[in-house]
Every structure is written in structure tokens, then in C-alpha cells.
A and B are shown apart, each in its own frame.
Chain A
Amino acid sequence: MIPAPFDYVRPSSLEEAVSALADAGEDAKVLSGGQSLLPLLRLRLAYPSVLVDIGRLPELRGIRDEDGHVLIGAATTHDEVLRSPIVHAECPLVALATATVADPAVRHRGTFGGSLAHGDPAGDLPAVAVALDMEFVVHSPSGERVVAARDFFLDYLETALGPGEVLAAVRVPKLGEGWGFHYEKFHRTAQAWATVGVAAAVRVSGGAGGGPRRVEEARVALTNMGPTPVRATQVEAACAGVELNGSATGYAAATPNGAGPGAGLDTRNGCGPGGGHSALREASAAAAEGTSPPADLHGSPEYRRHLARVLTHRALLSATTPA
């Protein structure tokens, strides 16, 4: 558990960071919160020559409400994200997913940008990024470029970030009125990574005197169902136009023990098999299409495909439940 030797630099500006990286060459690595990188070093699964620590750069930290989007600095910690009123008001899905990341200790160190730059499909934020079509602001010696979420995640632990590039900030588009959100994470213990996760954003029209409630648009993305986060496009298509009959409420948040002591598995009223939203259940049946989930100690691919369907249904139900 002792890393191989490496050099360490702590630049005092983004510009310095970019040039330090350029100087250090291919084997240099950006260090942000270190919650993913340091374990790799300690297990000697990575041998960087230099770590360029951007974790304390003021210009990479903070959350701003800008026109049409929320700008989150890459080195903003998960904990800061969770405490941001802007995030809760303008992009609640980010808060919902971040709240499920690890534990308070990790959330105080780990960063928003680090979670995305790491490109781990088991992380909770990549799926949110693709569901919300976030934009990645990337700096390199040749200047700034912006990468769309769908082009950012290339493979397992591989992103569009080239050597020498630093993720400076992420723009989270504001979706406007009528949207409901949910992040459904299935994990075995409170601190564990997602076996499977589902991020859902659904726009519903009608209700409260305005006629039947109808799904206008749905965005669904899956965590840990392949080497990158996956948009469940078939589910999204199948959801569009679904009428949400009756006063049905959300369903069976089948949280494992990790969800905290006290309450039981929550079967929020009567949406058992065949009940209320069978159309959403049907739409969810396609959730695992086109995925290639991993096999590991927490689940086989077959089980993960099954979970993706069940959890997608639950995420859609919760996202369409009026607050």
C-alpha cells in the first residue's frame, strides 16, 4: 500500500497547471481530490512520474449560476456541491446522485470534476452527466475547448481528455419547468459503489386540473452497465407520451440495508406488479438493450441487466411522482 516514487507539484494557477503538465510529459497525472487516484497508486496499479495537484486552485472551485446553465468548477468537492442552493434549485439530479457517493469523508475530499475525469462507469456522476447533456470545459496549452458529455466518455477509465489537458469546469444545462428527477442507486452497503444506478429526468405535462398527466420527454442514463455510462434511448422513446393514470405514487424504493437504519423497504402504496404504471414498466423493459454490463463480485451481467430494468422502472416512477 505504498505508491512507487513520484514527483509532486502544486501550481498556483490553472495556467501554471497546464504548463506543468506539458513539461512533465505523458506520464504526468492531474491530482484533484485523490479519492480514486491515490488508491490506484497505493495498489501500484498506476506509476505516474509527476502529480500535478489542482485540488486547491481557487479558480477551479465554486458553483455559479450562469445564463442557461450552472457552472461547477472541476475541483469543487462533492460536499460543496451538496451544500449548494444553486445545485438544489437548478440541477437537483446532480444533488440526488452526489448524495449517494461514498460517505462524508470521501465527499469532503473527492471532487465533481475528478469523478467525471476519472471516467469510471461505476461512478454515479457520469450517468448524470450524459442524462443532462453536460458540457466539459477543457484547458490545454493550445487553449480552451468544450466537449459534450456524449463525446466525453470513451471507454473504461478513458475520456476525451488528452495528456496535458485539464478539466476546468462543467456546465450543467438548466432544463426549465416541468421536470422531475430521480437517481436510483442499488448497492450492497452504504459506502459501496453502485452495482447498477439509474439517473432519470422526466418532463410531465398536465395534472392538477390541466388534464391527464403525460410524459413529454424522458432522459434515462445508466451507471455501471458498460465501460461508459449509457443512455437508455429505447426507454426514453418508449416513455414519451405515456399517460400517468390515477393518483399513483412512487414505488418500492427497494433500498438495501445501506439506506439507513429505521425504516423498512419502502413499498409506497400499491404499485405492485400489474398496478398503476404498467406503461412505464413496459418502457423500462428495454433498459438493458445495447448494454454490456461487467461481471464482478457484486453481480453478474445477467443480474445487472435485470436490475437495470427494475431500477429504471422505479426511477421513472419516482421522477414522475409529484413532489
Chain B
Amino acid sequence: MTEELDAGLVGRQIAESGMLGEPAPDRHEVGAARRRKEDARLVTGRTHWTDNHQLPGMLHVAFLRSPMAHARIVSVDTSAARGLPGVVAAFSGHDLAAEQGGLPCAWPVTEDIVLPEHPPMAVDMVRYPGEAVACVVATDRYRAADALEAIEIDYEPLPAVLDMTAALREDSAKVHEAGNRAYTWKYAEGDIDAAFRDAPVLIERTYVQQRLIPSAMEPRAVVAQSEGDHFTLYSATQIPHILRIMLAQVTGIPEHRLRVVAPDVGGGFGSKLQVTAEEVLVLLLARRLGKPVKWTESRSEGNLTVHHGRDQLQRVALAADADGRLRGLRVDLLADMGAYLMLVTPGIPILGAFMYNGIYKMDAYDFTCTGVFTTKMPTDAYRGAGRPEATFAIERLMDELAAELSLDPIEVRRRNWITHEEFPYTTIAGLTYDSGNYEAATEKALALFGYDKLRAEQSDRRDRRDPVQLGIGVSTYTEMCGLAPSRVLGSLSYGAGGWEHASVRMLPTGKVEVITGVSPHGQGHETAWSQIVADALGVPFEDISVLHGDTAISHKGMDTYGSRSLAVGGIAVVRACDKVKEKARHIAAHLLEASADDIEFDGGTFRVRGTDSGRTIQEVALAAFAAHDLPEGVEASLDSDATFDPENFSYPHGTHLCAVEVDTETGATKIRSYVAVDDIGKVVNPLIVAGQVHGGLAQGIAQALYEEAVYDAEGNLLTTTMADYLLPSAADLPEFVTDRTETPATSNPLGVKGVGEAGTIASTPAVVNAIVDALRPYGVHDVPMPCTPERIWRAVQGATS
């Protein structure tokens, strides 16, 4: 067909050289278990991480960090450090005070929220251990690190503020002048007093969501460079677009002169959804010194100063009828903000507010959350962000209710969950769940798990008083993700919208570049987006490349977090493809001398209906490039942009079942089996989904069993190394059995829901429920997280003695 095409000399050369792409063979990419395109370079490290950027004349900064939780800075003397070999400059907070501005909080959840000034480098006060108090810039990072020891700082110690309940008392030391209460946020629906009045069953519990330290494989790193009055900042960030706007605001560098690049990024889990002190300071240093500046954190520096996750005290009460039907739920939360409000710190527990009711129907719900300042590292988004905490509370309570009524925990859930005929269903928390089928996911999970057989083994072990007891934990979760509807975010005082953007451009040779506004940091977007585009445009998977993470290339976007990339960003890609196809159809019609209405598109070829005559999309791309013969009024390009803003969140759900063996003599636990049946709607790539679920489970199990950031009585962080902050490895985890049910989301044309956080959200309560279930014969009805062997042993001791 190409001979017919008048694409000029260049066009003919392209066609004859074999460069012109051909339509994809007749296959469906969406749904295929494609291996990830990006993995070869990510796994071998032969790519650009922020830390392997080497720029001419680059300097290295090291930060001196406060050894105290809370202190007045009396004096900082950097003069000795400045005289050391290789040292270019050294600064205290005072030196930078005039230009450093304050770190932003983009989610002031209430009108009267206390928003303390947050200097990137402490000036007069330190409020958490690890806060940067001075820095050295040197010709290499070794000299910078050595010179830190020559800086003299005089501190006047102040009392650490560690316990949230104590922090709210009148006599507590204050983290900020305005006091330790950051805000109180409330939600109520239904007549809560009526629900609790004379309720036949009342369950009241206090759960502690321990503080966690996100541990991405790649530590944070920043490189900044100035070229004239333009600046480029490379950062291991999840949010290059948001970061650019925020840095412009903080530093005064106009947005159009600031380029932010997130090169390949090795994981984030929310911890790189931040505007960090180091990003601001490295940019300011590059501006001040006129040379590129780099900073890469060490793991122990990261444990101190990457924003932490969770850290909530949950006081919860559930009222039910004698048959287990839920009447009402009361949630009274204290959320540890740490010393400052960072990018979305205050909003994290509020995201949970909509999830405490889980998948259940009830008459009334009452939620209060108070954000509390302490002298600890600020908290912020960590995988699941508010939803794991909420899901933990309701799923633990449902198990407690079952125990109280001597019902099977599955049965209690069945009596309360929304049935599949009831969708769309508006919950007591005000969300409209568009779709789901809790019955189907549960049935499938029970069968895979061998529920009845394990229950039989459990009762046998109980009868034998086996020192190793078996427990079964249930978690029937849902979550809201795909952040999302700009209107809803606005109503929650969130600082921005939740739309997403994509561009799709066809190159002269028929290859495709996709530019996405989301910013992958391990998720596999390059692969999944290629699959989507391959089906939409009928081009081969291999002919598509996905560009992202550089504000000079991907000029618009809201980045990656909250399981939003596919359900929002992926749909923007679909929309952009639709526009490309529509343009191409008109060009094809013109080339084929037919009316556009008579052109159909299938398998990568535009055809005149009822004839053989057609043009491949690649030929159309070439014709558009040559532009020798385009229809009147059609631009010489096959590029399109699209923005998608969904009407609703997406609501993945599922049933997770966990069997745990508990050695009552030592407190050791072992996960015997774990079944996860998730409903995440339509699936683009089952391999990527499995990866997300496995990693999510590992992180949720880690909260249940291993991880905890511990501060001592003076406010020092004790868990600064991986010897003390325990992360599980593959050797510590069971083989996961994962499966799916599929009820498509109705809020987007692909029918997809997010999967990035589901595993983490579901698994923590499944594991703890199993441990408690194992120990019920001993009179145990809770074990605080992480359920360490010693805590389990103590729970058994406490209950039996």
C-alpha cells in the first residue's frame, strides 16, 4: 500500500528502509501477562538514578542533624569546618533564614488548623531528632561528612513531647507556641446516641497504629543545577509536577524557569510524596554557589528524616444487635503529626475517616480525629495512607464481635456486608461504592484456603493443648483509591485537583511516544501503558515508548500515589488515543477518498466500510508527517492531549485469609498460609498485579509482625539501622496464594480499580486477627503491633497467670 502513499522523498525512504511500523498482529495486549519493559534496566541498575548523575563541577552537601528531640539552638559555629580541605561552604539555619522560606502543607483540613512555620533548616529551635541544623558543601561527599564533625553547636535542651495523650494536657511542654493540638476534624451521620442506647452488644477497644518508617530500596537523593537563571532539580521523588509548583512557591524561582526531573526512582510507598527540606536546601545551595550540588541520604539518616507513617491511637466502639447486626460505630482518633505539618500530613487520618465502616451497613457513624504535635519526625503518606489504619480497626472489631457472639467471623461479616445487588451503595461515611461482590470474593477465598479443614485442625490443637496453636484471621476489606475526583478533593480542603494528563504522539515512522503525567517509581507504567496503547491504536507493544517524570517533557500531571496511576492516568492515555484515532480517521478518509463516516478502524488499519481499501495507522502517521496531502483544516500532526478527572474514586475490595501458628512457649509466629482474593476490576497486566499484591502483603504483614519506629524516653530514635528496624525478607514470608474476582469499576472506561495499596490495607488485620484467634483459648483478645514474640508471650502470660 505504501507505494500509493504520497509522502515525498523522505517518506518513501522511510517506507523503503523498513523503518515504518506495521500494525500489531491480531492480539489483545490488555490482560496479557507481559514481562515489564523497564525491568532490565531497573534490575541491573544501568539507568539514571538521581545519585548517579555526575555533573561538571558538582559539589556535595552533608547535613548536620540534631541529636536532640527538642532544644533551643544557642549558637552554631561553622568556622572550623569552613577551613577544612575540600570544604567550599558551611551554613547554619541563620545563614539561610532569609531565603529558605517554609516547607508547604497543602492539606489544611480545618479552618482553624495550626500551621506552624517549617524552616527547611532549623534556625532557633529543633523539634525532632535528625532535623537539619547546619550543612557543609564540599568537593566530595567524604570531605563533607568529615567536616560535619568540626561544627560546634550549643543546644539548650527542652523537654521532649512524645505521648499524644500527655501532649494534649494543659501542663504538657509545647512543641509550638500555639499548643500541641493541630486540629480536630469531625464527621457524623445517623443518630449515634440511638445506635448505642441499649445496644445488646457493645465492643470498645483501643488500638495503636505504631509508627512506621517507609523503607524504599533507593534512598532519597537530590541534585540541583543552575544554568543562567534556569534551574534543574533531579530528585528521587514520586511527584515531579507537584514538587515544581511547590518549590517555585517556596524559593521564588518562577515555575517556567524550574525543571524538575524524577529519573528512575527506586520505590517510594508515599515517602517520596513530599516536598522535603533537602530538596529545598539543595536547590538554594545550587543557586547560592552557582554550581551543581548533590545530596544522597544514608539509610540511618533516612530512618531519622524520611517522613514516617501511621502513628495513631484509635479509640473505637461498636454497637450491635444480639444477632450481630451493626448499629453504630464511634471512632475517636489521635493522630501523631510529628513536629510539623508536611505536604499532606493532616489529611492522612482524614482519608481513613471514610473507611472505618468498611464494607458494612450500619445506622450511625461518628468520627473525630485530633492531630497532635510531638517532637518526632513528621508523619505523612505511607502505603495506604489512613485506609490501613481504618481497615485494621473495623476488621479487628468484626472479629471481636464474632468472638463475643460465638459466631464464625465470616458469618458476622455476611450479616452486615453490602450485598452485590445493592450496588451502587452510598455508605454511612458518604461515599458511593460503585461496584463489588463481597460474596464472590469470600467464597473463592474460603475454597482456596481450605477454611473448614484449617478450622478442624485448630480445634484439634486446642483439644490437645498443643503448645503450638493455630489461628485463622479474616479481613474483608475495601478501600477508596484512584485519587481522584477534583470536586471531592476540593470539598476536603485538599490543595489541588485529582485529574491526570496524557499525550500520545505518533512519530513519522509510526512508532508511538506516550507522555504520562503520573510518575512511576517501580510500578511498571511503561509496560501497562504500552499495553493500553497497543490495543487502542493497533500498534505493536514494542513500538511504544512511555516518557514520564520530567517536567520539560511531561509538562502536566498530578503524579503517582493513592493507587491513581491506572484508574486516572491510564484513562487519560485511553482518551488521548481516542483523539489520535479520530484525527487519523479523517486523514485516512481523505487519502482513501472516502467519507470519514465510512471509515472503520480495526487491528491498526483504517478501512472503507465494505471494501479492501485501507491505510494502516502507521501510513497515516507518515502522511501526516509529510503533510503533502492533508484534508482541509487538519493539522500536520497525529498528536493529542487528554485530561481525565473521574467522577468517583475506585473501590477495590477482597477477602484475605491468614493462618498463623503461634508457639505459646516462645511467642514465635509463623504464617502457615495466606490467601488473597482481590477484586480490582479489569486487569491490564496480571503479572504487575501479582507484584503489587505480593509487595503490599509483605508491607502489611511487616506492620503486623516486625516494623516499629521506637523513640526512647528522651526522644531519641532507637531504630536508625536495619538491625533495629526489622524488615522482613522473602525468607520471612510465606508463599502467597493470590487470585481475583472481577467486578468492573463503573467510573472509568477500562473498568479498572487501583491495586497499589490493597495488599497492605488488607493484610495487617488478617495477620493480627489470626494471632488473636490462636490465643483466644488463653483469654487473649489483643496483642499490640508489631506482634513480637515477647509481646505474644506476655499476652499469654498475662492472660493465664
Contacts and interface: CB of A to CB of B under 8 A. Distances in A.
Interface in A51-94: none
A237 to B, nearest CB: 24
A273 to B, nearest CB: 7
A297 B710 CA distance: 8
Nearest to B731: A190
Nearest to A311: B666
Nearest to A192: B726
Contacts of B406: none
B467 interface: yes
A38 interface: no
A255 B670 contact: yes
B487 interface: no
B465 A272 contact: yes
A256 B145 contact: no
Interface string A297-321: 1111001001100110000000000
Interface string A173-197: 0000000000000101111110100
Interface in A231-284: 252, 254-262, 264-265, 267, 272-273
A261 B668 contact: no
A112 to B, nearest CB: 21
Given A186-B668, A188-B788, A257 B467 contact: no
B669 A257 contact: yes
B793 A303 contact: yes
B788 A261 contact: no
A4 interface: yes
Interface residues of A, number: 40
B198 interface: no
A303 B668 contact: no
A43 interface: yes
B671 interface: yes
A8 to B, nearest CB: 14
Contacts of B189: none
Nearest to B794: A303
A265 B670 contact: yes
B686 interface: no
A2 interface: yes
A210 interface: no
Given A254-B468, A267-B468, A1 B298 contact: yes
A292 B76 CA distance: 42
Contact of A252 (B300, B467, B718): B467
Interface stretch (B91-99, B280-288, B732-740): B732-740
B83 to A, nearest CB: 16
A162 interface: no
Contacts of B26: none
B554 interface: no
Contacts of B732: 189-190, 256-258
A211 interface: no
B738 to A, nearest CB: 15
A254 B668 contact: yes
A192 B668 contact: no
B668 A306 contact: no
Contact of A267 (B146, B466, B718, B730): B466
Given A189-B728, A264-B670, A265-B661, A4 B719 contact: no
Contacts of B731: 189-191, 258, 260-261
B729 A254 contact: no
Contacts of B663: 252, 254, 265
Interface string B649-683: 00000000000011101101111100000000000
Interface string B705-716: 110001000000
A5 interface: yes
Contact of B467 (A192, A255, A272): A272
Nearest to B664: A254
B790 interface: yes
B724 to A, nearest CB: 5
Given A252-B468, A272-B467, A189 B790 contact: no
B706 A264 contact: no
Given A191-B729, A257-B728, A252 B665 contact: yes
Given A1-B298, A272-B465, A257 B666 contact: no
Nearest to A273: B467
Nearest to A262: B735
Given A1-B300, A188-B726, A297-B719, A257 B665 contact: no
Interface string B529-563: 00000000000000000000000000000000000
B141 interface: yes
B299 interface: yes
Contact of A189 (B146, B719, B726): B726
A303 B666 CA distance: 9
Contacts of A267: 466-468
B142 interface: yes
B142 to A, nearest CB: 5
B179 interface: no
A188 B468 contact: no
Nearest to A195: B789
Nearest to B702: A189
A256 B729 contact: no
Interface in A72-126: 103
B789 to A, nearest CB: 7
Given A261-B731, A261-B735, A267-B467, A256 B789 contact: yes
A9 to B, nearest CB: 20
B386 to A, nearest CB: 27
A52 to B, nearest CB: 21
Contact of B666 (A39, A186, A262): A186
Contact of A257 (B146, B671, B794): B671
B9 interface: no
Contacts of B43: none
A259 B730 CA distance: 11
A254 B732 CA distance: 14
A5 B149 CA distance: 12
B790 A300 contact: yes
B465 A257 contact: no
Given A39-B721, A310-B665, 9 more contacts: A189-B727, A191-B729, A252-B467, A252-B665, A254-B663, A257-B671, A258-B732, A303-B793, A310-B666
Interface of A: 1-2, 4-5, 39, 43, 103, 186, 188-193, 195, 252, 254-262, 264-265, 267, 272-273, 296-300, 303, 306-307, 310-311
17 contacts: A1-B298, A43-B300, A188-B706, A188-B788, A190-B729, A190-B731, A252-B663, A256-B669, A256-B732, A257-B669, A258-B732, A261-B730, A261-B734, A267-B467, A272-B465, A299-B790, A306-B793
Nearest 6 A/B pairs, CB to CB: A1-B298, A190-B731, A254-B663, A2-B145, A265-B661, A256-B668
